[in-house]
Amino acid sequence: MENALPTGIDPAKVVEINGPAQAAGSGDIIETVYEAGVEVIGTSAFDPVRKEIEALMAEASKVYVGQEQFVRLTLVALFAGGHVLIESVPGLGKTLLVRILGEALGCRFGRVQFTADLMPSDITGQPVFDARTQDFRFRPGPVFTQILLADEINRSPAKTHAALLEIMQEGRVTVDGTTYPIAPPFLVLATQNPVESEGTYNLPEAQLDRFLFKLVVDYPTAKEEHLILRLHSARQNLEAQISERIKPVLTPERILAIMELCRTVMVDDKIVHYITAIVRKTREWPAFFMGASPRAGIALLSGARVLAAFSGRSYVTPDDVAEIVLPVLRHRVILSPESEVEGETTDNALKGLLKTIEVPRP
């Protein structure tokens, strides 16, 4: 497989350490490893990442039962520098997950319940008069954290959730002409109820496009629900269980280091063509009234790089891309009226589309 250099590396300053080789008796490819300055970018550099992610998943499973793919893709969004829109009914443990991830990642975490009377200043913060100094000082809002659960984001007016989406994009808050940066890493998990629509405000497509993933969380299996009830029947406070059982695996500094490492994952030009073909196909697929924007391709690329790093690889495979096609695209396309009448779903349409795209081979 011909490998592309990581973005930002000057080809003139790169020394090739070893070339691609076909592993005997298998379809595996040993990728080209490059040296840029003093840094060697190869599979061995990503093996610690794989172990750390496995440790994170193990910590979460101590209290959070099931939903492994949901947890994994949430971590992908974090390390890709994106945010997640979650569609699920109440009571499936979203707040619990934020609490657990905060402990395991060594990050601050918070929760905002979006309501009809929530104002932008309620989440961003506002100047407050200080009687001692006879001056106004800025009091930060709940958005100044590292993992934020924006519960039922579509229950607030457009002005309020638009303010949050601007913060997600810019990573800062501007109040009265003064800019306050939000320290990275910063992950927003925004939820919406797929059933109840009374008193809600639909997010416009332009704002939905700001989310890296849209994850659909379903009810647990019978076995998982039994384990949840057993956990709650142990007569131990859930908060106490989290504090006692969940141990920090990473730190914010290590998270930022992994994020930088993920950006060095190599992407072959064949993979780029594969991603381009998927995104462009959505714009001509009969089931869709509107296809995905170029931002969808960027999301597929960044998410696939993180998935490769999670697997301990320094290069992206077609499987990495295929795994996140639904989370990346389901909120970026719109079904045609005819498809809706026929009972078609966005996920099924995307699965059918993906089958028509030729998968690149080594």
At 100-139, the pLDDT tens digits run 898 899 999 989 988 888 888 889 888 887 778 778 888 8
CATH class of 265-355: mainly alpha
Provide long-range contacts, Cβ within 8 A and 24+ apart, for 342-345.
344/287
More confident residue, 66 or 353: 353
Output the pLDDT for position 258.
95
pLDDT over 90 (residue 57): yes
Output the pLDDT for position 99.
87
Give CA–CA dist 87/200, Å, rounded: 14
What single-letter DSSP state applies at residue 183? Answer: P
More confident residue, 154 or 261: 261
Give CA–CA dist 205/330, Å, rounded: 11
The pLDDT of 196-207, averaged and rounded, is 70
Give CA–CA dist 41/231, Å, rounded: 43
Residue in 169, 156, 181, 163 with CA at minimum distance from that of residue 124? 163
Q: Where are the domains of the chain?
A: 47-252, 265-355
pLDDT over 70 (residue 15): no
Please say whether the beta carbons of 146 and 183 come within 8 A. yes
Lowest mean pLDDT of 87-96, 136-145, 176-185, name the range: 87-96
**How many Cα atoms within 13 Å fall on the side-chain side of residue 257?**
10
**Domain 47-252 belongs in CATH node 3.40.50.300:** yes
- Which residue, chain included where needed, has tokens 């490492």? 261
Output the pLDDT for position 237.
67
